[in-house]
Amino acid sequence: MKQIFSSILAVIVLFMSTLAQKTYPGSELKQLQSPQNPRIGFVIHGGAGVISRGSLTPEKEAEYRKKLEEAVMAGYRALQEGKTALEAVELAIRILEDSPLFNAGKGAVFNAEGKNELDASIMDGKTLKAGAVAAVQRIKNPISLARLVMEKSPHVLLVGEGAERFAVKQGMELVDPQYFWTKERWEQYLKMKKEREEKTVNMLGMPEVQQKYGTVGAVALDKYGNLAAGTSTGGMNYKMVGRVGDTPIIGAGTYANNETCAVSATGWGEYFIRLNVARDVSALMEYRALPIQQATDLVIQQKLKKLGGDGGVIAIDKFGNIGISFNTEGMYRAYINSEGKPVVMIYKDE
């Protein structure tokens, strides 16, 4: 009798899981590992925005793809070797921060006074511990400082000089702010400055010109079943001094909870704060039991669009299912597919 019951139950469960499978829309969603193996999963982004076909030279495009592949593979290999989701997230983000291609660490955009102010955050889905820094000017890898704030301070968010002083106490070397300077970003700054000064643009209306948001981020599921998320950015070109976007705001730019998912966002930060984008994806899974792709789509394609914001998110759940959604023309992104191979994408139609 018991056996019959279990068999029936098994059939029901199988049937229901098929149903659940069918409700997932889109093609981004992957079951990363076979059920026999502990599942691991890794996804990164390098920002969203006006990245239409033809806007990048073939050489530049190849550079982006190469760096994204390097970062996603580095994180994935770390997970394969038994490193934690937190470690993989930090590792991959450091690679992206060190690359001048992305608006984080080296290659960050400049604020209205021609300075780089960097933001980053990281969150551990197992403990719900989190660390973040904002408006730091001399930290080579803000994501690593965010992790130190989480692990070595009683606080979640440290800003400005206080954050840098904490870094020094933790044995971190400060870099000269000149380290972050790149020719491309400086030219973008000068161009924006000229436009602002000529047009005496209403500051409330920014950005009239849609931007590329080069924020970087990563989400991971490790073999211990733990999720983590991290995000790092230089913010918005020509932002006001002291402006902090969604990246270091837990719940806006970054969120991780083993019960639901890990999320990293990129886009027009103010909208992501107002909507609590990362936490909302998690809430839709927690309270509405939405599959991860549906949850990211609902927030990005409906709520964010309705409010007038743009950008995107990457997310991963405890089963290794991936959600990727953006409402811009492109998003630098990469993940590891079910064969363990990296998939790197830039444009919307990929």
The site for its own copies (CB under 8 A) is made up of 123, 128-130, 134-135, 152-163, 165-166, 203-206, 239-245, 249-252, 255, 269-270, 273-276, 279-280, 283-284, 287-288, 307
Sign (positive or negative) of CA dihedral 11, 14, 18, 20: positive
CA 257 remoteness from chain centre: 15
- CB of residue 121 to its own copies, shortest distance in Å: 10
Q: How far is CA 136 from the centre of its chain?
A: 19
Least Å from the CB of residue 332 to its own copies:
24
When the beta carbons of 104 and 290 are compared against its own copies, the nearer one is: 290
Encoded amino acid at 213, one letter: Y
- What lies within 8 Å, CB to CB, of 302 at 6+ separation is none
User: Residue 263 CB, nearest distance to its own copies (Å)?
Assistant: 12
| Nearest to 45, CA basis, from 276, 244, 245, 313 | 313
Cβ contact 174:141 at 8 Å: no
Report the residue number, 216 or 283, with the smaller CB distance to its own copies: 283
Helix (H) or strand (E) holding 96: helix 85-98
Comparison of 73 and 292: residue with beta carbon closer to its own copies: 292
Nearer to its own copies (CB atom), residue 5 or residue 287: 287
Residues 215, 231, 247, 260: which is the catalytic one? 215
In whole angstroms, the minimum distance from the beta carbon of 75 to its own copies comes to: 23
Q: Fill in the amino acid letter for 232.
A: S
**215 tagged catalytic:** yes
Q: Which stretch of DSSP H or E encloses residue 154?
A: none
Q: Which residues are catalytic?
A: 215
